[in-house]
Amino acid sequence: MRGFKRSGISNGSSSVKRVNDWWIFLFVYPVIALLSVHIGNDNTFQELVHMPSYYSDLLLAFSCVYGLGWYYRWLFFRLGQKFDREMLMSKRIISRIFLGVVFPVAGIIGLELLYLIYLLGIPLRTSSVFYLELPVVSTFCIALNLLYYLLYFREHNLELKRHLEQQKKAIPESEEKHKEDFIVNLGARAFPVSEENTAYFLVSEKSSFLVTADNKRYLINSTMDQLSKMVHPERFFRINRQIIASRRSILSYSHTDTRKLRIEISPAPGIKAFVSKTRSSRFIRWFNQG
């Protein structure tokens, strides 16, 4: 068989950064070139090595595979620059189908026909180009397009992640936005409670509650870990695993014999509130700074 090919980069990223595809050139393309020569060939390897056309087949296959490899590397990188990822998806898909599959397959089959007819003297009617080489070349092209699409899709997501992390680092902690009100539930109703009217958050019987300054308790669909990130760190303190209290709700604190801090909260939560000794110094600094 004399089929060969190399498929396109399915970019998928509006970023101009190229994917790391050296391993495809090093490992995948040689396998594709060898398969394109041996698939459908009825001769044994011992017979092939004594046929002059076997070596010209290999030369043609490797030349076309690596030539198309560099073509696709350039093509899909350029398509990624030209088309926006979300807004021009349909145009990008059409361009990649035509330029990444139809055009390469047609070019390879055309070269295959020229090679068979003019160099090997094989009549077109006796060749296997249209029922063997054509399906194999098309399959390889489609498979490599999918491979490059996954590579560029992964690179796009990594780039987005890096960008978001950089943005997060660029925002000072004091400028991060915190919740000014919290959505609570009472029966079938859901409504906001302002931060100013929030005394503390409490975990009771595996559910989270918001307790207001006038001692009304509402169910809230957030965990304590989530709430600790929502509240303003200068106005709320996580007393322990069960309570996140606003400074307004804390009446006083006192030291215990075990070096914990006992916290008096209003309205009374119905459970004793202690700050562990490892966090007591932090609590005192926070409370005094208020």
Residues 61-87: tens digit of each pLDDT: 898 889 888 888 887 777 766 655 544
> Which phi and psi (to 5°) does residue 36 adopt?
-65, -25
pLDDT at 39: 85
Which residues pair with residue 209 across a beta bridge?
202, 219
**Inter-residue contact 36 to 61 (CB < 8 Å):** yes
**Inter-residue contact 212 to 199 (CB < 8 Å):** yes
**Inter-residue contact 106 to 64 (CB < 8 Å):** no
Sole residue written with tokens 């929502």: 230
Give the closest residue to 7 by CA, choosing from 27, 22, 34, 29.
29
Residues 114-136: tens digit of each pLDDT: 888 888 888 877 777 887 888 88
d(CA 261, CA 287): 12
User: Sign of the CA dihedral 140, 142, 148, 153?
Assistant: negative
Task: Summarize the confidence of residues 275-279 as an average pLDDT.
Answer: 93
Q: Is pLDDT at 231 greater than 60 in this prediction? A: yes
Give the closest residue to 211 by CA, choosing from 171, 233, 253, 239.
239
Q: 172: how many CB neighbours lie within 10 A of its CB? A: 7
What the block records as the tokens of 88 is: 């021009």
Domain boundaries, the chain: 22-170, 181-289
Could you give the percent of the chain with pLDDT greater than 90?
Answer: 36
Which residues pair with residue 254 across a beta bridge?
262
d(CA 290, CA 288): 5
Task: Summarize the confidence of residues 154-171 as an average pLDDT.
Answer: 75
Q: Is pLDDT at 11 greater than 90 in this prediction? A: no
What stretch of H or E contains 283? helix 277-289
Hey, what CATH class is 181-289 in? mainly beta
**Inter-residue contact 199 to 266 (CB < 8 Å):** yes
One-letter amino acid of 108:
I
